[in-house]
């Protein structure tokens, strides 16, 4: 009985989200059309409650609530769940504003969104490969539906089908890896595997293959090259709020698992996969950034840019130190705000001019200066220029690699420094395509003279994102401290 209560307490944020989703679904059945308009506000309330529970109830009680079967609970997971809840909340705001979307079965859409958020929170807390697999499938299936939500849109259908097929393929490979791991180690618990992996008598080659297969599944979720091809199509085809959501939230959840797998269960130096991971990181950032250059659609551009960002973030995993893990946490917070902020601006523009083509952003600064300035701020942050959150994230992650290099007798013999050099060069490339938008908005004359108005709620969304982007950029101390202490409590790279 006590165990059950403890489990419920530990899962209270997830439960809050799930209950909200069920309530929304039920309310959708009984409410009239005018009542349904308030459903998003209900969602926001539920998410706020979950955030409060997560941050103020679970966080202080982490040590006592931490011992749960199949679950892992620590400040580290609380941090990621905060990020996911904020991302879901901002997505609800975007949904409310997106023209042509908010009218279609709002209850279904919103409950799906909340279910997937709950799934991501479970994924973050998974201490067992079975839980990892189940949560990932749960998130995956909901995401396919969300991408294909506008049924009669051909592009949405195309994106959803590609997403589904590649997702199913990746899951199959991942499950195979998991079964190999179980066969090798006799356990599916991540914590337990960390204890067993160093012992003698394991076949290192087979272990490597198993971890590799497992990372395929995670690589798919994170859109690491070469498992990235679904992301641009899904983001272009899906409704803009969904595109914003799947470019941020599943990645945050996937990163939480990735850090624990490569930090706790299979430390990179023990399984000797740093080289392979470096190649993946290099390929991901270079490919993402280069492919973003020729894009003409803002959503596709942001999709490829998000592939590039995952490449940078992987450096923090490869560096295999606390600074890197903490840096990833800060990067995730920064990424949630700057990417969703950028998408909020995209929604504001597409509502008015009905287009997401970059060329149609011409003269936006004269049609709506605040939106143009805000979008420039988010783009600057995505490009990693100070004084924005994106810069702090990049600075920490790159710094972690340099710290790792410093600890070696010959810094140039390791991939660290080369990765950092590749990453900073990639940042220069990224400024080029981000500023193609700035170029259109500020340097080109507008095609139509009409203004582009935003609405109150949208200002709330962009305002929160912009304030957070700037605050984290100028006064990063609270976030850095929180991230560092969240990481310190893990058993990363310790044993």
Partner 1 sequence: MVNFPYLSFMTFTPVFGALFLLLIPKENARGIRTAAAFFTLLTLVISLFAWRAYDLTLDPAAHPVQLVEGKAYDPQAPDAERLSAGSAWIPAFHIYYFVGVDGLSLPLLLLTALISTVAVIASFNIENRVKEYFFFMLLLEAGMMGVFSALDFFLFYVFWEVMLVPMYFLIGVWGGPKKEFAAIKFFLYTLFGSVFMLVAMLALYFWSGHPDRGIPHTFNLLELKRQAGGFNPAFQLVVYWALFLGFAIKVPIFPFHTWLPLAHVEAPTAVSIILAAVLLKMGVYGFLRISFPILPLATQQYATVLLVLGFINVVYGAFCAMAQSDMKKLVAYSSINHMGYCLLGMASLSAIGLNGAIFEMLGHGFVTGSLFLLVGVVYDRAHHRDIDGFGGLGVRVPKYAGLMTLACMASLGLPGLCGFVGEFLCLLGAFNPNRILGNDATFKVFTALSVIGILVTAGFFLWMIQRVFLGKLNPKYAELPDLDGRETVAAIPLAVMTVLAGVFPWFLLKVMDPASQALVTHIVSHAQQVSTSGGDVVSWLR
Residues of the shown chain interacting with partner 1 in the complex, contacts defined by CB under 8 A: 365, 369, 376, 380, 385-387, 391, 395, 398-399, 402-403, 406, 420-421, 424-425, 427-428, 431-432, 435, 438-439, 442-443, 476-477, 480-481, 484
Least Cβ distance, residue 404 to partner 1 (angstroms): 9
The CB-based long-range contact list for 25-34 (8 Å cut-off, 24+ gap) reads: 25/107, 25/108, 25/111, 27/107, 28/105, 28/106, 28/107, 28/108, 28/111, 29/107
Token pair of 91 as six digits: 């997505």
Least Cβ distance, residue 381 to partner 1 (angstroms): 12
Least Cβ distance, residue 328 to partner 1 (angstroms): 15
Residue 129 or 420: which CB sits closer to partner 1?
420
Residue 33 or 410: which CB sits closer to partner 1?
410
Residue 188 or 427: which CB sits closer to partner 1?
427
Least Cβ distance, residue 30 to partner 1 (angstroms): 47
Check if the beta carbon of residue 381 is closer than 8 Å to that of residue 334.
yes
Least Cβ distance, residue 247 to partner 1 (angstroms): 24
Least Cβ distance, residue 387 to partner 1 (angstroms): 6
Token pair of 83 as six digits: 């990020």
The CB-based long-range contact list for 216-219 (8 Å cut-off, 24+ gap) reads: 216/170, 216/173, 216/174, 216/177, 217/133, 217/136, 217/170, 217/171, 217/173, 217/174, 217/175, 217/177, 218/174, 218/254, 218/257, 218/258, 218/261, 219/170, 219/280
Check if the beta carbon of residue 90 is closer than 8 Å to that of residue 465.
yes
C-beta atoms surrounding 23 within 10 Å: 17
Q: What would the DSSP string read from start to end of 86-133?
A: HHHHHHHHHHHH-TTTTTS-HHHHHHHHHHHHHHHHHHHHB-BHHHHH
Residue 16 or 468: which CB sits closer to partner 1?
468
Least Cβ distance, residue 208 to partner 1 (angstroms): 30
C-beta atoms surrounding 306 within 10 Å: 25
Residue 373 or 457: which CB sits closer to partner 1?
373
Q: What is the DSSP letter of 384?
A: T
Residue 450 or 485: which CB sits closer to partner 1?
485
> Partners of 357 in the beta sheet?
297
Least Cβ distance, residue 435 to partner 1 (angstroms): 6
Residue 229 or 484: which CB sits closer to partner 1?
484
Least Cβ distance, residue 426 to partner 1 (angstroms): 9
Residue 157 or 370: which CB sits closer to partner 1?
370
Residue 273 or 422: which CB sits closer to partner 1?
422
Residue with the two structure tokens 């949208």: 458
> Partners of 297 in the beta sheet?
357
Q: What is the DSSP letter of 56?
A: I
Token pair of 62 as six digits: 């982490």
């Amino acid at each position: 009985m006590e165990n059950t209560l403890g489990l419920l307490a530990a899962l209270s944020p997830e439960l809050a989200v799930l209950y909200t989703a069920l309530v929304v679904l039920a309310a959708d059945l009984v409410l009239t059309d005018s009542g349904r308009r308030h459903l998003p506000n209900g969602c926001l309330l539920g998410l706020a409650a979950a955030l409060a529970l997560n941050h103020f109830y679970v966080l202080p009680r982490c040590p006592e609530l931490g011992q749960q079967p199949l679950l892992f609970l620590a400040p580290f997971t609380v941090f990621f769940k905060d990020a996911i809840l904020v991302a879901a909340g901002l997505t609800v705001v975007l949904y409310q504003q997106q023209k042509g979307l908010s009218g279609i079965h709002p209850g279904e859409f919103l409950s799906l969104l909340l279910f997937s958020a709950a799934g991501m929170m479970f994924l973050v807390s998974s201490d067992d490969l079975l839980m990892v697999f189940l949560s990932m499938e749960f998130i995956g299936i909901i995401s396919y539906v969300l991408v294909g939500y506008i049924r009669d849109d051909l592009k949405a259908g195309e994106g959803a089908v590609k997403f589904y097929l590649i997702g199913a393929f990746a899951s199959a490979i991942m499950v195979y890896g998991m079964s190999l791991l179980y066969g090798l180690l006799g356990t599916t618990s991540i914590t337990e595997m960390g204890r067993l992996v160093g012992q003698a008598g394991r076949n290192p080659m087979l272990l490597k293959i198993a971890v590799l297969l497992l990372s395929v599944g995670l690589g798919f979720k994170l859109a690491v090259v070469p498992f990235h091809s679904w992301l641009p199509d899904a983001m272009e085809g899906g409704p803009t709020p969904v595109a914003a959501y799947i470019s941020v939230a599943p990645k945050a959840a996937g990163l939480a698992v990735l850090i624990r797998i490569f930090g706790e269960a299979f430390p990179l130096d023990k399984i000797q996969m740093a080289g392979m991971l470096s190649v993946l990181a290099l390929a991901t950032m270079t490919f993402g950034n280069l492919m973003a250059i020729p894009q003409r659609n803002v959503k596709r551009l942001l999709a490829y840019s998000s592939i590039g960002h995952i490449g940078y973030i992987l450096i923090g995993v490869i560096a295999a130190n606390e600074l890197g893990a903490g840096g990833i946490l800060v990067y995730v917070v920064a990424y949630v705000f700057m990417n969703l902020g950028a998408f909020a601006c995209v929604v504001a523009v597409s509502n008015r001019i009905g287009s997401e083509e970059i060329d149609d952003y011409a003269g936006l600064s004269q049609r709506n200066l605040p939106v143009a300035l805000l979008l420039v701020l988010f783009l600057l942050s995505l490009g990693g220029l100070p004084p924005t959150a994106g810069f702090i994230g990049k600075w920490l992650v790159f710094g972690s690699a340099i710290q790792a290099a410093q600890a070696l007798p010959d810094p140039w013999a390791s991939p660290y420094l080369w990765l950092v050099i590749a990453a900073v060069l990639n940042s220069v490339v990224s400024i080029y395509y981000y500023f193609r938008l700035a170029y259109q908005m500020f340097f080109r004359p507008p095609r139509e003279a009409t203004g582009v108005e935003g609405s109150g709620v949208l200002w709330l969304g962009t305002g929160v994102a912009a304030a957070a982007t700037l605050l984290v950029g100028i006064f990063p101390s609270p976030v850095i401290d929180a991230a560092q202490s969240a990481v310190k409590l893990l058993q990363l790279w310790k044993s």
